[in-house]
Each structure stands twice: as C-alpha cells, then as structure tokens.
Structure 1
Amino acid sequence: MPIVQFAPFSSLVQPAFWHELTNLKIDVLRLSDEILPITGSYSVGRSVKDRETGQEIALGCNLTIGSESLEKRSQLPPHSVIASGAFKNFNTIEDFKAADKTALFNQASEEIWDSIITKKDTSLLNKFFLITYADLKKYKYYYWFSFPAFVSKPAWEIGGEGWKDADGELGVEVLQSIHRNLQSDSRPFFLVRPAGNSVEIGSIEDHDQFFANVPPTSQTLAFIDPSALPDNPGWPLRNLLAYFRALHSSSTQLRILCWRDAELPSSTGTWKSRFGVLSAGAAGVDPTTKPSAVGWEKNVQGKLGPRVADLAPMMDPARLANQAVDLNLKLMRWRILPALDLDKVASTRCLLLGAGTLGCYVARTLMGWGVRTITFVDSARVSFSNPVRQPLFEFEDCLNGGKPKAACAADRLKKIFPGINATGLNLSIPMPGHPVPTGSLDQTKKDVEILEKLFDDHDVVFLLMDSRESRWLPTVLGAAKGKIVMNAALGFDTFLVMRHGARAATSSGNRLGCYYCNDIVAPADSLTDRTLDQMCTVTRPGLASIAASTAVELLVSLLQHPDGVHAPAPPPQTELDTADPSTSGSVLGLVPHQLRGFLAQFRNMPIIGAAYDRCTGCSETVLKAYETHGFEMMLQAFNEPGYLEKLTGLDKLYDEGEAALENVDWDEDDEGDM
C-alpha cells in the first residue's frame, strides 16, 4: 500500500505583522531576545478553478500570522483554528545567522512530545517556531519558520483505493451534521461517532470514553485539513498520528476524515473533504520514546533557509516616515534612558511666537523630539536675507513680496514630515510703548482675543521675537494662564534662554522670575529711530541654532521633571556636566532657570532669578489687573507711557532712589584734594 504523503505548512505572513513586530521591538523588546509566545491560524484547504482548463488548482497549505498574532486573538471564522507558537527576535543579522537552530528546533519538538506523553494533550500538536531579525532602518525582515512534525516508523500507509471523497464513504447527512457541529465548536482535531441519523463530535483526549461502545468500523478520527491536494493530507495529521501511536499503540488502523468544507456545497457542487483508512505495523521501539522530527520551512528557492520580506517598496511613504521619525528617540530608551517619557513630549502642543531664525530652529528641534503640534505666529513676510539663516524658507518664498512667514514655515514642516500638525497665523502682537490708533482698535482687540485663544489651546509658549516689548503681552498671558513659557533672546555673541517661573512657588518655596523681573523700567518702544544694524538681529551665524536647541532641550528636561512648570532650579554651584538625575528630578539632568551663553568663550552659565513683586510682566499686581479689566488694562499699557510703572509701584521706586541720592552728603573739597 502507498505510504501517506503530507502537504507541509507554508507560512503566510501579513504585512501588518511586520508593523506590529516593529512597534514591539522598539517599544517593548528593545534589546531583549527572549522567546515569546505567538499565535497563528489556518483554515480548511482551498482551491481555485483554472478558467482555461477548468481544473481545480490547490492553494497553499497556509499557516497565517498577522498583527493580532502577538496579542490576544480576535474571533476566528468557522472552520479556522489557532496554532500556538513561539518566536525569537535577534538583535543583529549575525546573531540570526549564527543561531543554534538545531537546539531551538529540538526544544520546540520536545515541548510537543512532552504535552503528548505527560499531559495527553493535543493543544500543542500544531506548535510552530519562528526566528526573526528586523532591519528597522531598511524595513527588511529576515525570518524562518519551523513546523515540528514527528516521523512515523514504520510509516503509515493508505489502504484500499487511497483517499476518497468523504460524502461517498460517510454519506451527505453525516457531513452535514459535522458541519453544523463545527459552526459552534471549531477545533483542530476531533472524534466522530454516529448518533442516529446524525453524528456527535468529541475531544481527542476523551478517546476511550467517547468510543467506549462504538465499533472500530464506526470510529472516525478527524482534523481541520489546511491542504486542498486530493491525495496529500495537511501537515497537522503527522503529529495527530504520532499522538495515537504513542497513547493508543494498539490502534494500527485508523479511519481518517480530512475536513475541508468551510461551506456547504450548492446543489450542483461537491463536498471537498477526503476520507481514508490508514494502517501501520507495530512500532519496533517503545511508542513513548520520542521519535525524530522534521519541519524547517524551505525558502522560495526550495532550499532550507530563511526568507526575506522587504516592505520598503510597498509601504506608504507617509507611514514609513511616521515610524522612522521617532526611531532615534525610542532607541534612547533601550540603554541610556529607559525612564524617558516620550509620549509626554509628543503630546505637548507648542506655540511659537516668531517664525524667524529662532522660530525655524526651535521648530526643527521640536520635531526631532517628536512634538506633533506646532503653531507659528508672525506678522512678517519672507525676505531675501532670510533663507540662508532661517532653515524653513527657500529662495522662491521671497518672490513677489514674500510669503507670510508663519504660514510658509508651517507648510514647510508638513513637507518635511507629513504627520506634523503645523499651523501658521499672520498676527501682530500689540506692544507697550506702541499706541493703538483709534481706527485699529477693533482689530487689535480681535488680535488679542486670538492670542488668548492660542494660549488656551497650547501647553508651551516660546517667545522668539526680536524686540523686548513684544514679549510683554505673552509674558502676562503665560503667567495668568499657568503655561510653560520659554524665552530665547540673542546678542551678537551671547544668548539668554530661560523658563519663566510659574505663578505659584516651586516645591523649594521660591518663585522664579520672568524676562522682566530683573528690570526696573517697563518695556517701551525700542524700535523707532534705529539704524540698519539695530533693525536686524546682528549675531554670529551659529548663535541662533545654539540658543534654539538649548531652549528646546530645557523644555524637554522640564517636561520630564515630576513638578513640571513648578520645578525648582538647581543651586548655582551645581555643575552642569555632573548632574545626577536622582537629585535633579529629571531623567535628562538639571532643569536650570536661566542659561547665559557666551560664544566668545564657548561657555554657558546657569543663573537663578527670583520673581520681583514689582515686575511689569508677572507680578500679582499686573496679573490681577489683567484678570479684572482684561483688554482695557492692556490698552492702557499700550497707549499710556508710565502706566506699568505706576501700576507696579516702580515710579515710587524711582522717587525713593532720587530721594536717597539727594540725602547723600557729597564732600566736594575732599574730592578735589584727591
């Protein structure tokens, strides 16, 4: 009699699985190469009809894995079953190639055999093993499946006329009854016994009880067959036969039903399931002795070797970018900073007031940190002097009077990374010392309302303007609304980067100051009657990028601090290069209040500035006046010279200073003798 030939499993990996593996590798596994559980599924064998010849062509005996294979599986369709497995992802291609594949295969087959002999369980009969290496920079995935199956000695033979149509051997009513049972109770292996005009199905593990009063000629062993070949049952039958030889060695002849009917055939259709009677002589060795196993999958060349899935050509470029842009950030968490909270950074909504040199560099660095929401506010247009210093603009943006800077910068961010939520608004920020004409009053009030709404909708505000007085209104709004305010200002070869102190005191009991806390004069018009070099921000070319990057890095350190905007500043004597995250509070190190940079000496100096109770920007007097009177208070600050000094009491400070000088007894004779 002919020996039974089996159709081996063929892996079918859905692209979604590789996306899920990418996320798992980056966010969870990192450098771990431990063996993890995985699930696959297969269904009854299927075939298609050749349109030219009319012949049935069997499709592959597929085991499928998808995105859900690494998680809890969802509901499967009828006549589909789960196959449990394990997978191991290697960190390098060298490790993948050098892996002891024999040891891994033997370990998997040993687990299957142990489940048969010790547990008398069929749940692992379809166990598979997968090894992978994911090249996440090129989106190439190397993989190799093994489907361990035991070799029967002596081999099983198919008797009679070989494999036959099941409906001719068992009858249509029996097959219909089996189909009904499997609709609600799909399982990879099952027993079938007659029950009147129908049948009953049971678990393989209950063999002796289920067939207690059933004659051998009515005992049928069945399985969901993923093969559609007429004379070759699918791979799952191999281990099922090994199970019966080990636990029911007296059964040398078995009636096998290869179930292949996911749907009932039409009136003109035929049943696809196959039936055969298998027989084998008694084993020459102890049936509980583990037999040898085979099962490594062959590659597309028909040789034993791994396969490669190259997803880059078929992936949506936008999706590729979305996965790749944060790769550097996520790699930080593998070895250097496992506690880094990237989600907190990514969800931070940033408002950039100013889309010039500082604004462009800040935006690029924010994108590098994974920030997804960036809004620009600027009233200028791109000029011919901008593109070489401001990296979000090009020569074409300067033509025909220049594009609005804010909108142009936002559009350029979207071209760099389509996944960014970038917006640009053409808006002027009213300033103290710059009176509002009567005809512009309504527009100014509208601009202020828009600015207030922007502050409400964002978490962080960057002050990146090129004048002192333009920072006043955002300083007031930021303090009143409890926002994180980051300030960056440039000199020729010096810069200031600072975070404004919160309205409430820090955890150390001190309230940090804002941009205006060290001033004893209110912001006033600094833009009128300026020469050309005073109209432009004249700096060393590298200074803006240094200051912008420093401002963003300071923000991210602040976001990682548990106190957030209320984080205290480190003591002045703390060394920046020896900051201990356990004492600084942020996993990224220190969170200074102010940084003064000196490019001539290539030196940064941390400074702490306390809040000033007469500050024109963040004092309680100013904030309460804003909260009480709103736009009317702002309008007075814009239009009336000396209003802020009077409001905060700085005018009295002047008078006190003048009085102190008048009370000094100057000895002119002594001065002349010197």
Structure 2
Amino acid sequence: MPIVQFTPFSSLVQPAFWHALTDLKIDVLRLSDEAIPVHGSYSAGRSVKDRESGAEIALGCNLSVGGESFSKEDKAPAHSVSATGVFKNYNTIEEFKAADKTALFAQVSDEIWKSITVDRSTAQLSRFLLITFADLKKYKYYYWFAFPAFAAKPAWEIQGDWKGASDEFSDTFLSAIESAQLASPRAFFLVRPKAGSDEPELAPVEEYDTFFANVNPVERTIAFLDPSAAPGNPGWPLRNLLTYLAALHPATSHRVLCWRDAERPAGAPFKSRFGVVSQGAGTGEAASTEKPAAVGWEKNVQGKLGPRVADLAPMMDPTRLADQAVDLNLKLMRWRILPALDLEKVASTRCLLLGAGTLGCYVARTLMGWGVRTITLVDSARVSFSNPVRQPLFEFEDCLDGGKPKAACAAERLKKIFPGVNASGHSLSIPMPGHPIPPASVAQARADVEKLEKLVDEHDAVFLLMDSRESRWLPTVLGAAKGKVVLNAALGFDTFLVMRHGVRAALAKGDRLGCYYCNDIVAPADSLTDRTLDQMCTVTRPGLAAIAASTAVELLVSLLQHPDGINAPAPPPQSQGGDAAPGSEGVLGIVPHQLRGFLAQFRNMPIKGAAYDRCTGCSETIIKAYETDGFDMLLKAFNEPGFLEVLTGLDKLYDEGEAALEAVGWEEEDGEDDF
C-alpha cells in the first residue's frame, strides 16, 4: 500500500506580528532571551481554481501568527483552531546563528510526547517552535519555525487512496459535522453515527475508550481540521494525531476524516477527504513507550533547511517607521539604566510654549527628543532674517515677503521633522501690565485673553519663553490659578535662569515655592519702550539658549518622573544629587526649584526660593482677584500703574520702608575735625 505523504506546515507571518515583536522586544524582553509562550492558528485547507485550466490549485498548509500572538488570551480567528508554541528571541545575529537548535527542537518534541503519554491530551499535538533575531535599526527580522512531528516506524500506509468524504458519508451526515465545526471548531475529534439516525455524534479524542465502546470499528472515525488542500496529502497535524493513537489506542487501522469544509459556499460539494490508514507489521500490539524520532524544521524560500528573513523597511509606512524610531533611544534607557522610567507619562504631557523664538525652537526640539507628542506654540512675531541661524525651526525662505508667522511656521516645521507630532501654532499678542489698552482694542484684548485661557486649560505644562519681563505676568497668573506646571526660562548675556513655579496646593503646608515675580518688590512694567538696538534684541552667547532650553525640558521631565509630580519638593540649594534631602529625588535625580547657569564659569547653581505673600504674580490676593473679577481685574492691571502694588499691599511696604528711613537719626560730621 502507498505510504501516507503529509503536507508540512508553512509559516504565515502577518506584518502585525513583527510590530508586536518590536514592542515586546523594546518594552518587555529588552535584553532577555528567555523562552516565552506564543500562539498561532490554522484553518481548513483552501484551494483556488485556475482560470485557464479550471484545475483546483491547493494553497499552502499554513500556520499563522499575527499581532495578537503574544497576548495572554489564546483566541483563534473565526473558523480556525489555536496552536501553542515556544518563542525565543536572540539579542545578536551571532547568537541566533549559534543557537543550539537541536536542543531547542528536542525540548519541544519532549513536551509533545509528554502531553501524549502522561497527560493523554491532544492539546499540544500542533505545538511549534519559533526563534528570531530582530534587527530593529534596519527593520529586518530573521526567523526560523519548527513544527515537530513524530516519524512512525513502520510508516503509515493508505488503503487504496484518499477519496472525497461524500463517497463515504451522506451529505446530511457531513452537514451536521459542518454545523458543529462552524459553531465551535475543533482541531481533533471523534465521529460515530447516532443510533437510528443519519446524523453524527462528536466527541474529543481524549474520550476514545468511552465514546467508541461497543461501536463497530467500521463506524469509528478519527477526524481533524486539515490545513492541507492537496487531494492526496493530509496536513501535518495528522502525523502527531496518529502517533497519539498508536501510543494510546493501537489498532489494526484507523478511519480518518480530513475536515476541510470551514467556509463552504451554499450548495457547493464537500471538499473534505476520507481514507483508511494502517501502520503495517506490528499494528495492534502494545505500543512502545520510547519517544519516536521527530522532524519538522521549516525550509527557507530556496527549499533548504535554514532561517528566513522579513525585511519590512521597504513596505512600511515611513510615518510608522519614524514613530517607532524616534522612541528607540528613550526605550533603550529603560533596558539597563532606568527601568522605572515612565515614558508614557512624558509622551502624553501636552506642552504649551509661549514664545517661538530661540528658546521656543530649542525647547520644542528637546521635547520631541523626549517623545512628547503634543506641542503648541504661541507667538505674535514673524520670522526675520536674523532668526534662522539661531532658531533651528526656521529657514531662509521663511523670512521672505515679510516673514511667515513664527508660531505657525515652527509648528509646520515640527511636523516635517516628525509627522507623528501633534503640533500647532497660534499668532497671539499677550496683554501686559504697563502697556495700556486703548478703548478700541479692549474687545481684541478680551478675545486674546480668552484664547490664552483656553490654551492653558487644554495643556498640562506651560513654558514661559518670551523676551520681556512683563509678558510673563498673565501666563503666570493663569498657570497658578489653574494648577498647571509652569516653567520659566530667561537669558542674560552669559547667564540663564530656569525655574518651575510653585503650586497653590502647597500653600496650606507653608512650603510653596516662588514664581518668577516672588523676589521682586515692584510690579512688572513697560520694559520695551525707548530701547536701543542691543536692548531690543536678546544679546547672548550663541550656545546659551540651547543650554537653557534643554535644562528647562529636563526639569519638566524630572518633575514628571518624581513620585509627587507637580508637588515634588525642592532639595536644599547646596544639594547636588548625592546629598539631596529625603524624598526630593525622583527617577532622574533631584528636581530643583531654580537653576542659574553661568557660562563664563561653566557652572550651574541650584536655588530654592519661597513664595511671597505679596507677589504680584502668584499670591492668593492676585489669584482670588482674577478668579472673582476675571478680565476686568486683568484690564486694570494692564492699564492702571500701581494697581498691582495696591492690590497686593506692596505700596504699604514702600511706605513702611520710607517711614523707617525717616526715623533713622542721620548725623553729619565735620570733616575738618579728622585732620
């Protein structure tokens, strides 16, 4: 009799599998090469009809893995059954090539044999092995599948030939099996005719002894979901099913139904196959408990035993490539250096940048480097010819025809650098104390304030990056009132200040940190009128802005990583990390209140300053007045000199100071007496 020829499994890897592997490698496995479980699935074999010849062409006997293959939930697609496997990823191509593949294969085949002889279960009969190396820089994935199957000695033979299932069973009988398989697909099952009926009864293979008790051998049928569509070659799962039967239920022969009708069109003939197989001499005797030899490594596209490679770079969406690549450096930080780093918190932080000049451009670039996905810029100016060399989001063409609006131009450039960023720009003038608003412009000022309030509400962190002192006042008040993270950066010639504003929530504890105005005893006023050219431009050493901007972003990230977040305590001024106060350090180290940098000495000095109860920017008096009177209070601050001093009581402080000076008795000495 002819020897049964089985159609081997072929791997079918969905592109989503490689994306899932990329995420798994970066976020979970990192440098681990431990074996982990993986899930695959297969369905009934399919064939297509050749348009010219009309012949049926069998498609591959596929076992598929996809994006859900690493999930804990083992759920197969519709009309499919699940197969469990072992996955092992190597860190280098050299380790992948040098892997002890024989030992790995033997381990999986041992697990299959144990499930047969000890567990007496069919659950592991289609178990597989997958080893990989993921080159994440080039998006190349080297992989090799193995589908261990036991070799029978003597080989299985087919009595006559495989024939259509309709030649053995009635359509009513097969239709009943079809309905059961559509409702709940089974990889392996038993079939017997129902007494006094032309319908079948089905049961798991594990119930062989009880289900087939007192059933005539010619009415006992072993069935399996056959992934092969070849007329004369059953699929790979039958090999281990026959091994299971030979080990636990040896018989002279087995009636086998290769079930292939998972999605049969209405009225179409059944494609399932039927045959009777036997094992030659020795069949029917007690089976040996020794594990048979196993085969099953998949051949590559050249038909040789060897790994395959999937090169996704040419067919991947460049935007998707960029999205994965920009975060690679960040995720590598967590592998060995900072496992506790919460990158999702950074990426989801919505940042509002008030000022799209030198500081704004560098802050935006550094935020993108940290993976921040939402960046909004606000500026009222246009790009000038002096900007592109110092402000890295602008080019020469942006200066022509009067210059493009800075905020919108910078946002568009961010999206060109990385399409995955949600960047937007708004041309907006921020009203300022000391700059009176004419009656005709009050409506526009009100609209500008409302727009700024809305932007602050929609963001988590606000960067003050403007080039005047008074332009920072309104955002300081809004940030304090709305409980936002506010970071300030200001430049001198070779010095800079970076600070975070204190939050209102810390007021009750008495340890609220100060804001930009807390060290001043004068309210912000007009600093822009009657300025010389060097005063109109921010004259700094060229490298200073990049240092200050990067420091501001790093301060934000350190704050986000601290367990107390926006309420993180500032370390004492002398702390440099090693001697920080308990509780003041986060994952990235200390979270200072202020940093003053001195480029002439190449040093930074941390400073801690308490909030001032008469501050014109963040005191409770100012915040409550804003919350009570809204724009009317702000309008007075813009238009009325001395309003903020009177509101906060600074005017009384001046009077007390003058009175103290007058109370001092000054004595004039005659200088001639000294000679």
TM-score tier by shorter-chain length is over 0.9
Q: 1:292 corresponds to which residue?
A: 293
Is 1:121 the counterpart of 2:157? The answer is no
Q: 1:483 corresponds to which residue?
A: 484
For 2:4 and 2:671, the matched residues in 1 are separated by 120
8 Å CA contact 1:128–1:147 kept in 2: the answer is: yes
Q: Kindly tell me: are residues 395 and 451 of structure 1, through their superposed partners in 2, closer, same or farther at Cα, counting changes over 3 Å?
A: same
For 1:99 and 1:505, the matched residues in 2 are separated by 58
Q: Kindly tell me: are residues 114 and 540 of structure 1, through their superposed partners in 2, closer, same or farther at Cα, counting changes over 3 Å?
A: same
Q: 1:274 corresponds to which residue?
A: 273
For 2:562 and 2:186, the matched residues in 1 are separated by 53
Is 1:624 the counterpart of 2:629? The answer is no
Q: Deviations over 1:516-548 (max 9, x none)?
A: 111111111111111101100000000000000
For 2:572 and 2:509, the matched residues in 1 are separated by 11
Q: 2:321 corresponds to which residue?
A: 320
1:449: Cα distance to partner?
1.3
For 2:523 and 2:145, the matched residues in 1 are separated by 73
Is 1:500 the counterpart of 2:501? The answer is yes
For 2:582 and 2:652, the matched residues in 1 are separated by 45
8 Å CA contact 1:325–1:370 kept in 2: the answer is: yes
For 2:209 and 2:349, the matched residues in 1 are separated by 64
- Code of the residue aligned with 1:110 in structure 2: it is D
Q: 2:657 corresponds to which residue?
A: 657
| Corresponding residue SS for 1:512 | coil
Q: 1:540 corresponds to which residue?
A: 541
1:565: Cα distance to partner?
2.0
Q: Which moved more, 1:11-20 or 1:81-90?
A: 81-90
Q: 1:391 corresponds to which residue?
A: 392
- Code of the residue aligned with 1:372 in structure 2: it is R
For 2:109 and 2:524, the matched residues in 1 are separated by 79
Q: Kindly tell me: are residues 580 and 95 of structure 1, through their superposed partners in 2, closer, same or farther at Cα, counting changes over 3 Å?
A: farther
1:408: Cα distance to partner?
0.7
Q: Which moved more, 1:281-290 or 1:96-105?
A: 281-290
8 Å CA contact 1:176–1:264 kept in 2: the answer is: no
1:554: Cα distance to partner?
0.4
For 1:16 and 1:478, the matched residues in 2 are separated by 43
Q: 2:34 corresponds to which residue?
A: 34
Q: 1:185 corresponds to which residue?
A: 184
Q: Kindly tell me: are residues 264 and 139 of structure 1, through their superposed partners in 2, closer, same or farther at Cα, counting changes over 3 Å?
A: closer
Q: What do you get for the CA RMSD once the two structures are aligned?
A: 1.8
For 2:32 and 2:252, the matched residues in 1 are separated by 47
8 Å CA contact 1:581–1:588 kept in 2: the answer is: no
Is 1:604 the counterpart of 2:604? The answer is yes
Is 1:215 the counterpart of 2:216? The answer is yes
8 Å CA contact 2:559–2:591 kept in 1: the answer is: yes
Q: Deviations over 1:171-203 (max 9, x none)?
A: 333322322332223211111112221221221
Q: 2:567 corresponds to which residue?
A: 566
For 1:246 and 1:42, the matched residues in 2 are separated by 25
Q: Which moved more, 1:580-589 or 1:290-299?
A: 580-589
Q: 1:52 corresponds to which residue?
A: 52
8 Å CA contact 1:464–1:488 kept in 2: the answer is: yes
1:579: Cα distance to partner?
6.2
Equivalences for 1:293-442 in 2 at 5 Å?
293-442=294-443
8 Å CA contact 1:387–1:393 kept in 2: the answer is: yes
Q: Deviations over 1:472-492 (max 9, x none)?
A: 111111111111110000000
- Code of the residue aligned with 2:28 in structure 1: it is V
| Corresponding residue SS for 1:465 | coil
Q: 1:554 corresponds to which residue?
A: 555
For 2:255 and 2:55, the matched residues in 1 are separated by 28
| Corresponding residue SS for 2:241 | helix
- Code of the residue aligned with 1:312 in structure 2: it is A
8 Å CA contact 2:569–2:584 kept in 1: the answer is: no
1:617: Cα distance to partner?
1.1
Q: 2:171 corresponds to which residue?
A: 172
Q: Deviations over 1:205-236 (max 9, x none)?
A: 11111111111122111111111111111101
Is 1:258 the counterpart of 2:258? The answer is yes
| Corresponding residue SS for 1:153 | coil
8 Å CA contact 1:508–1:568 kept in 2: the answer is: no
Q: 2:240 corresponds to which residue?
A: 239
8 Å CA contact 2:89–2:131 kept in 1: the answer is: yes
8 Å CA contact 2:573–2:606 kept in 1: the answer is: yes
Aligned residues: 669
1:660: Cα distance to partner?
2.6
Superposition TM-score, scaled by structure 2 size: 0.96
Unaligned runs of 5+ in 2: none
1:31: Cα distance to partner?
2.0
8 Å CA contact 2:612–2:619 kept in 1: the answer is: yes
Q: Kindly tell me: are residues 507 and 345 of structure 1, through their superposed partners in 2, closer, same or farther at Cα, counting changes over 3 Å?
A: farther
Q: Deviations over 1:67-106 (max 9, x none)?
A: 122122446323x211111211122222211111111110
| Corresponding residue SS for 2:586 | coil
Q: Kindly tell me: are residues 42 and 670 of structure 1, through their superposed partners in 2, closer, same or farther at Cα, counting changes over 3 Å?
A: farther
Q: Kindly tell me: are residues 202 and 50 of structure 1, through their superposed partners in 2, closer, same or farther at Cα, counting changes over 3 Å?
A: same
8 Å CA contact 1:507–1:566 kept in 2: the answer is: no
Q: 1:204 corresponds to which residue?
A: 205
8 Å CA contact 1:496–1:547 kept in 2: the answer is: yes
- Code of the residue aligned with 2:437 in structure 1: it is V
For 1:582 and 1:378, the matched residues in 2 are separated by 40
For 1:451 and 1:265, the matched residues in 2 are separated by 62
8 Å CA contact 1:637–1:644 kept in 2: the answer is: yes
1:505: Cα distance to partner?
2.4
For 2:228 and 2:498, the matched residues in 1 are separated by 69
8 Å CA contact 2:182–2:262 kept in 1: the answer is: no
8 Å CA contact 2:226–2:258 kept in 1: the answer is: yes
For 1:76 and 1:17, the matched residues in 2 are separated by 15
For 1:348 and 1:366, the matched residues in 2 are separated by 10
Q: 2:92 corresponds to which residue?
A: 92
Unaligned runs of 5+ in 1: none
For 1:159 and 1:334, the matched residues in 2 are separated by 59
- Code of the residue aligned with 1:180 in structure 2: it is S
| Corresponding residue SS for 2:504 | coil
8 Å CA contact 2:41–2:76 kept in 1: the answer is: no
Q: 2:14 corresponds to which residue?
A: 14
1:504: Cα distance to partner?
3.3
Superposition TM-score, scaled by structure 1 size: 0.96
Q: Which moved more, 1:311-320 or 1:544-553?
A: 311-320
For 1:106 and 1:539, the matched residues in 2 are separated by 69
1:20: Cα distance to partner?
1.2
For 1:522 and 1:64, the matched residues in 2 are separated by 70
Q: Deviations over 1:450-497 (max 9, x none)?
A: 111111111111110001111111111111111111000000000000
| Corresponding residue SS for 2:351 | strand
Q: Kindly tell me: are residues 353 and 285 of structure 1, through their superposed partners in 2, closer, same or farther at Cα, counting changes over 3 Å?
A: same
For 1:224 and 1:648, the matched residues in 2 are separated by 82
1:258: Cα distance to partner?
1.2
8 Å CA contact 2:463–2:488 kept in 1: the answer is: yes
1:581: Cα distance to partner?
10
For 1:3 and 1:192, the matched residues in 2 are separated by 24
1:285: Cα distance to partner?
9.4
1:664: Cα distance to partner?
3.0
For 1:408 and 1:330, the matched residues in 2 are separated by 30
| Corresponding residue SS for 2:200 | strand
For 1:325 and 1:462, the matched residues in 2 are separated by 23
For 2:42 and 2:536, the matched residues in 1 are separated by 72
Q: Which moved more, 1:450-459 or 1:399-408?
A: 450-459
- Code of the residue aligned with 1:244 in structure 2: it is L
For 1:8 and 1:579, the matched residues in 2 are separated by 65
- Code of the residue aligned with 1:288 in structure 2: it is T
- Code of the residue aligned with 1:317 in structure 2: it is P
For 2:649 and 2:583, the matched residues in 1 are separated by 39
Q: Which moved more, 1:360-369 or 1:618-627?
A: 618-627
8 Å CA contact 2:431–2:445 kept in 1: the answer is: yes
